[in-house]
Amino acid sequence: MKTKKTFSKIGTTFLWSILTIITLFPIYWMVLVSTRTPVELFGKPDLSPTFFQKVHWKNFTKPFLDGIYADYLFNSIIVATSNAALVTILALMATYALSRFKLPGSESIFFWTMTNRMAPPAAFLLPLFLLFSTVFKFGDFTLFDTKIGLILLYCVFNLPFAIWLLKGIIDGIPKELDEAMIVDGANLFTIFRKLIIPLAAPGIAVTSLLSFLFAWNEYLLASTLTSVYARTIPTGLSEFVTTTGTNWGTMAAVALVSMLPALLFLFAVQKHIVAGLTFGAVKG
Amino acid sequence: MLSKNKTGWLLLSPTILILVLAGLVPFIYVLYVGFFQWNPLAVDPSLQFEGFASNYRRLIFDEVFLESIWRSIKFSVVTLTIELSLGFILALSLLSSFPLKSFFRSVHTLPLVIAPIVVGSIFKLFTVQGLGPLPHILKDYFGYTLNYGLNADQAFWMIVIMDVWHWTPFVTLTLLAGLSALPQDPYESAKIDGANNFQIFTYITIPMMVPVLIVVIFIRLMDSLKIVDEVWMLTGGGPGYATRFTGIHIWKEVFEKRYYGLGSAMSILYLYITIVICWVLYSVMVARGKNED
């Protein structure tokens, strides 16, 4: 019985080792490509970790210091950060309203917000493009190719899931606490500042990190609704597809840099990622 | 009491405003445009009415569009089957303890946070002819030529492999969360009654996991039906129509050919199919929830 257990342990470890290699091998290759010159990439792929001896830094400096990708990176940071902040604030307000007030039709509102997240973005590309470029016009100002446009648009996709994530947490804060504070003469702002935000802090952190991640990673809408000034890193990455004689090293470097925030967040949100991705339907 | 409700609506209003302006208005707009012929590059760049639902009548016989829908559904079913079976096995294996378990699990979580477009780039670098190691390895050790730029079947299955690489971790982690939350009593009584592992799995684990399984299927189906980014990066929808999923097809019709009217009708049909699938699954979910109460 004991040997059988040892065998299954060895088998499982072996299986997971292979899986880990499958997961990491393509990423490892990308890192290799990002550190090599075009000449070094020519011919048979060399899988040895040459980045310990020599790194071709030009792959990173050329796009991010001399090239347009510095702007793309800046845009991505602005859009993702503002979106995360806006989504978190709006979702906190909305969730508090849905949780504390018995509003007529709030169940339907709840479901309707969710349908916005499930809709395929490709179906909304054309109307959004037209609305952004011609319909929502304030003098000379249109939302097309602006960061504000993207920030507001990503709210449509992030708000539903943020509300779903926060609902469980705010429902869990006893109503009696609010009522006690109201009796003491506190206004809504004080209730948020002193009660809701401190008690829901971990949930708020997860919500904002996952919203940031979505906005950072989004490609399709960003590529359709921007042209020059508000392009984000993912759209920049896709530009490598059409370029003839692609500089693979630069492409790998850009891909690697655009992956970094996600990697940093992985450690912060790992425990909550399941709850986040399943709208809280399954607790992680 | 009325003023209290007012505060509630006030707190909700920015959310509702944004969702109406960027969610509902585009929907109504696309519904409206779908009834007209509209090509801004044509001689007459205005909306033309050519009979009731002319675009929809055209789409019913549009083989490329129908094939793209069929392709998307086929792709979703194939990836879902692979990811579910693989994810279930991996989740079950994570219930036992073995060396380096938390390290393996962290690495497994990694693909989840990577942007689809970056996943596409990673796979492009890994598999493209003349650069990637994968075609070389397959050629040298197995005598198999991988060139998905020319071979339609290879292109489709390459996308499937990429999707499995990207999303199996999600299935694993969600099922693991579900498995860890299962009550232990049924297992103990089954063991006392002398059930074997297979019986325990089919008669206890699977039935108790149905709610979680539905959530996973629901979310994965929605996501794989709207796949665009990775495919765009890896194959651009080609070769030919081999990987032209509905999302990519709509993008090409609208932004390359400028068929605004027809593209809108496609969007509505695509949305409709997604909603129907969604609604069926949602009803199943709700019906089950009611049965349990």
Interface probe with A: pick from B117, B126, B221, B264, most Cβ of A within 10 Å = B117
The pLDDT of residue B11 is: 87
Residues 142-171 of A with CB under 8 A from B: 152-153, 155-156, 159, 163
- Give the confidence band of B165 by pLDDT, cuts at 50, 70, 90: very high
What is the DSSP secondary-structure string of A107-119? HHHHHHHHHHHHS
Q: How many CB atoms lie within 10 A of CB B53?
A: 13
Query: Which residue does chain B place closest to A10, by CA atoms?
Result: B98
Q: What share of chain B is helix, strand, coil (3-state, %, to 5)?
A: 75, 0, 25
* 0.90 surpassed by complex ipTM: no
The pLDDT of residue A275 is: 66
Q: Please give the structure tokens belonging to residue B129.
A: 């002819």
Q: Which residues does chain B have within 8 Å of residue A105's beta carbon, measured at their own beta carbons?
A: none
Could you tell me if A219 and B114 are in contact, meaning their C-beta atoms sit under 8 angstroms apart? no
Distance between CA atoms of A215 and A194, rounded to whole angstroms? Answer: 29
Could you tell me if B122 and A255 are in contact, meaning their C-beta atoms sit under 8 angstroms apart? yes
Point out the residues of chain A with pLDDT beneath 50. none
One-letter identity of residue B14: P
Q: Is A177 near chain B, with CB under 8 Å?
A: no
Q: Which residues does chain A have within 8 Å of residue B26's beta carbon, measured at their own beta carbons?
A: 124, 127-128, 131
- pLDDT > 60? residue B293: no
Q: Which residues does chain B have within 8 Å of residue A148's beta carbon, measured at their own beta carbons?
A: none
How far from each other are the two terminal CA atoms of chain A, in whole angstroms? 33
pLDDT in tens, B190-205: 888 888 888 888 888 8
The pLDDT of residue B1 is: 41
Q: What are phi and psi of B37, to 5 degrees?
A: -90, 130
Which neighbouring-strand residues pair with A141? Answer: A138
Distance between CA atoms of B211 and B214, rounded to whole angstroms? Answer: 5
| B14, B25, B251 ranked by CB distance to A93: nearest | B14
Distance between CA atoms of A88 and B93, rounded to whole angstroms? Answer: 36
Query: Which residue does chain A place closest to B173, by CA atoms?
Result: A274
Interface probe with A: pick from B1, B10, B15, most Cβ of A within 10 Å = B15
Residue (of B113, B152, B115) closest to B233 by Cα position: B115
- pLDDT > 70? residue B291: no
| B5, B108, B118 ranked by CB distance to A23: nearest | B108
The pLDDT of residue A61 is: 86
pLDDT in tens, B13-48: 888 888 888 888 888 888 888 888 887 777 777 777
What single-letter DSSP state applies at residue B48? B
E strand residue ranges, chain A: 137-138, 141-142
Distance between CA atoms of B255 and B264, rounded to whole angstroms? Answer: 12
User: Which residues lie below 8 Å from residue A50, measured CB to CB, with a gap of 6+?
Assistant: A32, A35, A36, A40
- pLDDT > 50? residue B2: no
Distance between CA atoms of A254 and A248, rounded to whole angstroms? Answer: 10
Could you tell me if B116 and B166 are in contact, meaning their C-beta atoms sit under 8 angstroms apart? yes
Could you tell me if A100 and A175 are in contact, meaning their C-beta atoms sit under 8 angstroms apart? yes
How close B43 comes to chain A (CA, Å)?
A: 20
What is the DSSP secondary-structure string of B140-155? HHH-----TTT-HHHH
Distance between CA atoms of A49 and B197, rounded to whole angstroms? Answer: 44
Interface probe with B: pick from A89, A190, A282, most Cβ of B within 10 Å = A282
Task: Using DSSP, state whether A138 is helix, strand or coil.
Answer: strand
Max CA-CA distance within chain B?
80
**How many A×B Cβ pairs under 8 Å?**
267
User: What residue spans of A35-139 are helical by DSSP H?
Assistant: 38-41, 58-61, 69-100, 106-118, 125-130
pLDDT, mean over chain B: 86
Q: How distant, in Å, are the alpha carbons of A118, A122, A124, A150, B76 from that of B223?
A: 8, 12, 15, 21, 9
Q: Are A94 and B109 a contacting pair at CB < 8 A? A: no
Could you tell me if B39 and B259 are in contact, meaning their C-beta atoms sit under 8 angstroms apart? yes
pLDDT in tens, B96-132: 888 888 889 888 988 988 999 999 999 999 998 878 8
Place of tokens 């509102």: A109
Could you tell me if B225 and B72 are in contact, meaning their C-beta atoms sit under 8 angstroms apart? yes
The CB-based long-range contact list for B209-213 (8 Å cut-off, 24+ gap) reads B209/B175, B209/B178, B209/B179, B209/B182, B210/B288, B211/B178, B211/B285, B211/B288, B211/B289, B212/A282, B212/B174, B212/B175, B212/B177, B212/B178, B213/B84, B213/B175, B213/B178
Distance between CA atoms of B269 and B285, rounded to whole angstroms? Answer: 24
Query: What is the set of domains in chain B, with CATH numbers?
Result: 62-292 (1.10.3720.10)
Of the ranges A237-241, B65-69, B75-79, which one carries the lowest mean pLDDT score?
A237-241
Q: Which residues does chain A have within 8 Å of residue B86's beta carbon, measured at their own beta carbons?
A: none
Q: Which residues does chain A have within 8 Å of residue B73's beta carbon, measured at their own beta carbons?
A: none
The pLDDT of residue A282 is: 66
| B7, B93, B233 ranked by CB distance to A238: nearest | B233
Q: Are A282 and B174 a contacting pair at CB < 8 A? A: yes
- Give the confidence band of B289 by pLDDT, cuts at 50, 70, 90: low
Q: How distant, in Å, are the alpha carbons of B69, B168, B228, B248 from that of B237?
A: 13, 23, 9, 7
Could you tell me if B243 and B237 are in contact, meaning their C-beta atoms sit under 8 angstroms apart? yes
Task: Identify the sign of the CA torsion A35, B157, B240, B220.
Answer: negative
B38: left (phi over 0), alpha (psi -120 to 50) or beta: beta
Q: Are B174 and A278 a contacting pair at CB < 8 A? A: yes
Could you tell me if A181 and A190 are in contact, meaning their C-beta atoms sit under 8 angstroms apart? yes
Query: Which is more confidently placed, A140 or B9?
Result: B9
B240: left (phi over 0), alpha (psi -120 to 50) or beta: left
Which neighbouring-strand residues pair with B48? Answer: B37
One-letter identity of residue A170: I
Q: Are A93 and B109 a contacting pair at CB < 8 A? A: no
